[in-house]
Structure 1
Amino acid sequence: MRFNEEYQKKLVTPEEAVRVVKSGDWVDYASFSGQVIELDKALAARAEELFDVKIRAVTALRTPEVVKADPEAKHFVYNNWHFSGLDRKLHDKGLCWHIPLLYHELPGYYRRFLDIDVLMIPVSSMDEHGFFNFGPQASHAKAMCEKAKVIILEVNPNIPRCLGGREEGIHLSEVNYIVEANWPLPQVPAGIPTEIEKKIASYIMSELEDGSCIQLGIGGMPNAVGQMIAQSDLKDLGIHSEMFTESMVEMVEAGRVTGARKTIDRYKIGYTFSFGTQKTYDFLNNNPMCVIYPVDYVNDPFIIAQNDKVVSINNCIEVDLTGQVCSESSGTRHISGTGGQFDFAYGAYRSKGGKSFIAMESTFKKGEELRSRIKPILTPGAVVTTHRSVVYYLVTEYGIANLKGKSTWERAEALISIAHPDFREDLIKEAEELGVWRQSNRF
């Protein structure tokens, strides 16, 4: 292979590669299942000699070694665009900071506003043309490469080759250093949906039809919908989704997905990142049915809307009686991030025949106390993820409510009708005090 000589010249140990990092630098670790392991360990080993090294990542599936090596955050400042459960726990300890975003805008943030001194990014093995593939995390990878002063690849043969699309890889000539690694991709099983999640999913299933183009978010309930789709008799479904999920593999294998009725990327599955089990990664590897794109394509509401019958399905944490949706914090405690919820809620509504669903269990437990997720007002400090004017359908185990075109009192009525029965009378009293209830209301 004619690129081997250049490859060998750029090949260094992780310890040699991280010597380029200086105090005060901005370092990016890439995202999701594709975050560096060997380079992270090597950089952590330099903790005592570095100060104010600022790191950006997305949804860590392993606790970064730089955080473990610096429990007081004196040397490394770890920032994240969208929290995983691990990131959330680090945030609780003051070891992780959140960066708000609209996900479809993220590549533009890098190209317009952000600096990267050192980019460390995992890739698949080099092909015969000198290209490395970003694997299942194209997202904003190419935009980071364009802005990085130094690019270090962590080459891992276990990373699947995810076909594009566009901006799915980088050429050997564009990189500064190469490090070789051989770690397994994180295994993130979809989990078994609860009975409540299945009930919620059943309401959404009744709204699907042949030719629908599906987006599923993270969590048990969207996964429950995916499993029900696989077991249904729906035909010619499409997939255009920021995340490619394990249940989508089931949908394809069951013959539900052809993409034949899509108007863009026809016969193809469009996505921007994925994590799951090895079954998911094996499905994506060299699969011409799947095309990975940067997120400013996949999540652009005006691209989403070009397909007909787009169905967007996402979770939330709580909603107030006017329809404001919080999906990323519990009061002031940060839980996840905006992600693509707004992008797909807006894009699905603009789609001909499209529908967006935001789902939640009607209650949660605080200790032994049962509390409602439908509230008169959001918990103080709660982040509004999806504006009340953008919200379309809200779903709980007690039903489904369409908020489009409804006045404040109609919204209150619709939301209280899908609240847990134990909380409805109190919610009515609160609605009266807030001036969003009429004596003639009923549900």
Structure 2
Amino acid sequence: MDFLTEYRRKLVSPEEAVKVVKSGDKVAYGHFAMAPTFLDPYLAQRKDELKAVKVYAVVYPGLAQVAVCDPTREHFIYNSWHFSGGDRMLHDKNLCNFVPMIYHEGPAVIERYCDADVFMGKVTPMDSHGYFNFSVANSDTYAYIKKSKKVIVEVCDKAPYCLGGNLEAIHISEVDMIVETDSKPLIQVPEVPPNDVDKAVAGHIMNLIEDGSVIQLGIGGMPSAVGSMIAHSDLKDLGAHTEILVDSYVDMYEAGVLTGKRKAFDQGRMAYTFALGTQKLYDFLHMNRTAASYSVDYTNSPSIASQHDKLISINNAIEIDLFGQVCSESSGTRQITGTGGQFDFIFSSFKSRGGKGIICLSSLKEGKGEKKSRIVPTLTPGGIVTVPRAVTNYVVTEYGAVDIKGKSTWERAELLISIAEPDLREDLIKEAEKMKIWVKTNKL
């Protein structure tokens, strides 16, 4: 079959591509670094021609112009399944709404509830077999494509070709329109340099990791600090089965610490569903069989991830209350990120033989003036429970690591207060007493 002829037949200008969107349509954007940042401004330019177009994104890099251009939300109603920094800014202006989802359920949720009129997202250039690769954002992209009436791909020649895995590409026969972009590099997200508190937390986490562990790192300073410490450790034969792949995995691999030899399956390969990092990461992933791109219902599925022994999940939190409820996605009613895969991996880690699900956080909230604890009597009103108390396992601050799984309410309170900011522990004890989760025999 002559794929080049079909390619040329489907190649259109960006102005022509966005004309397929009609008033009332639902438009699904590609995810993370593969969002349609080239087509988005062209769609925004059609604002005055359109009404009530609903757009759905996932961690859009920067500010989606369909939201910025329409402060009344009469023309575009912008939504996100997981917030980026830009989505958060738009949410604060009432220009973005959050769609709650547990990540491993994404493809099933899309299949059951999310018909789309148009899909548009970045892909790599077409290969000789007629496939466009989803590059660094497999996620639940193909699930959305299957539910979309029209599929538009914007070809980016700077995107790495990421081998699978599964569902990591789309064939030209499934594509309706092709747009060639301005070839800007993918957005780069450098890892946050760890501060002293991050390093202290990471030090406690390192004591929980054994040779042969399979590592899932979240994003942020603390997981980055753990990745750096692992790369400089004498740990052996670690594996990777994760939602996000970040630069730290490259460091661990190049240091010889991460080999994947002891994984139950995908041996020798890093299984992931999306990647965000620097050019170092993207260059590493290009045509590299060391890594395997999978759809999220594979990487994040508890029934799959938990088959690995010693699955270690390391994720950040915003606050945790004395009952063990973890809030990792909002500050009160203000949406910060999303549930993502945190629940998936904390749950999976406990089901894994020898696994550990770790929630890490600094003992104090950032800010000047009065000290405010991240370990609180009850979550801030409106705060979202990301990990229910019955699922929470290990909690780590700079003052230590505690395992609250299987503990009564007073035991949980005692353990959590023991790793809180020392100056605030007495206040937390008083609140625990009021809530009837403290006994006089408790000792810190």
* TM-score for the superposition, normalised by structure 1: 0.99
Instruction: Quote the residue 2:296 is aligned against.
Output: 295
Matches of 1:211 and 1:440, distance apart in 2:
40
* Shift, 1:222, TM fit: 0.4
Residue 64 of structure 1 aligns with an amino acid whose one-letter code is A
Matches of 1:43 and 1:324, distance apart in 2:
41
Matches of 2:128 and 2:23, distance apart in 1:
37
Instruction: Quote the residue 1:49 is aligned against.
Output: 49
Instruction: Quote the residue 1:162 is aligned against.
Output: 162
Partner of 2:57, secondary structure, is strand
Matches of 1:283 and 1:28, distance apart in 2:
29
Partner of 1:435, secondary structure, is coil
1:126-145 matches, within 5 Å, as 126-145=126-145
Residue 96 of structure 2 aligns with an amino acid whose one-letter code is C
Residue 291 of structure 1 aligns with an amino acid whose one-letter code is A
Matches of 2:301 and 2:323, distance apart in 1:
26
* Shift, 1:68, TM fit: 2.2
Uncovered stretches (5+) of structure 1, i.e. residues with no partner: none
Matches of 1:68 and 1:238, distance apart in 2:
42
Residue 188 of structure 1 aligns with an amino acid whose one-letter code is V
Matches of 1:35 and 1:27, distance apart in 2:
12
Residue 333 of structure 1 aligns with an amino acid whose one-letter code is R
Instruction: Quote the residue 1:86 is aligned against.
Output: 86
Partner of 2:77, secondary structure, is strand
1:264-283 matches, within 5 Å, as 264-283=265-284
Uncovered stretches (5+) of structure 2, i.e. residues with no partner: none
Matches of 1:134 and 1:42, distance apart in 2:
22
Matches of 1:240 and 1:357, distance apart in 2:
15
Structure 1 position 426 matched with structure 2 position 442: no
Matches of 1:72 and 1:94, distance apart in 2:
9
* Shift, 1:198, TM fit: 0.4
* Shift, 1:366, TM fit: 4.9
Aligned residues: 443
Structure 1 position 19 matched with structure 2 position 19: yes
* Shift, 1:70, TM fit: 1.4
1:257-316 Cα distance to aligned partner (Å, 9 max, x none): 111000011111100000111101000110001001000000001101111110000000
Structure 1 position 196 matched with structure 2 position 197: yes
Instruction: Quote the residue 1:318 is aligned against.
Output: 319
Matches of 2:171 and 2:97, distance apart in 1:
32
Matches of 1:40 and 1:84, distance apart in 2:
16
Matches of 2:426 and 2:59, distance apart in 1:
39
- Report if aligned partners of 2:26, 2:55 keep a CA contact under 8 Å in 1: yes
Matches of 1:89 and 1:54, distance apart in 2:
19
* Shift, 1:349, TM fit: 0.6
- Report if aligned partners of 2:104, 2:296 keep a CA contact under 8 Å in 1: yes
* Shift, 1:39, TM fit: 1.1
Partner of 1:105, secondary structure, is helix
Instruction: Quote the residue 2:95 is aligned against.
Output: 95
1:220-239 matches, within 5 Å, as 220-239=221-240
* Shift, 1:12, TM fit: 0.2
- Report if aligned partners of 2:62, 2:85 keep a CA contact under 8 Å in 1: no
Residue 242 of structure 2 aligns with an amino acid whose one-letter code is S
Residue 386 of structure 2 aligns with an amino acid whose one-letter code is T
Instruction: Quote the residue 1:327 is aligned against.
Output: 328
Matches of 2:73 and 2:402, distance apart in 1:
45
Matches of 1:440 and 1:122, distance apart in 2:
60
Structure 1 position 146 matched with structure 2 position 108: no
Deviates more, 1:123-132 or 1:68-77: 68-77
Structure 1 position 255 matched with structure 2 position 256: yes
Could you list the runs of 4 or more consecutive aligned residues of structure 1 that deviate by over 4 angstroms after TM superposition? none
1:393-432 Cα distance to aligned partner (Å, 9 max, x none): 0000111110011100000000000000111001000000
Instruction: Quote the residue 2:174 is aligned against.
Output: 174
* Shift, 1:69, TM fit: 1.6
Q: Could you tell me the percent identity over the aligned residues?
A: 55
Instruction: Quote the residue 2:379 is aligned against.
Output: 378
* Shift, 1:72, TM fit: 2.6
Instruction: Quote the residue 1:40 is aligned against.
Output: 40
Matches of 1:243 and 1:259, distance apart in 2:
17
Residue 105 of structure 1 aligns with an amino acid whose one-letter code is E
Residue 123 of structure 1 aligns with an amino acid whose one-letter code is V
Matches of 2:305 and 2:92, distance apart in 1:
35
* Shift, 1:3, TM fit: 1.0
1:163-208 Cα distance to aligned partner (Å, 9 max, x none): 0011000000111000001121001100210000000000000111
Give the CA RMSD over aligned residues.
0.9
* Shift, 1:49, TM fit: 1.0
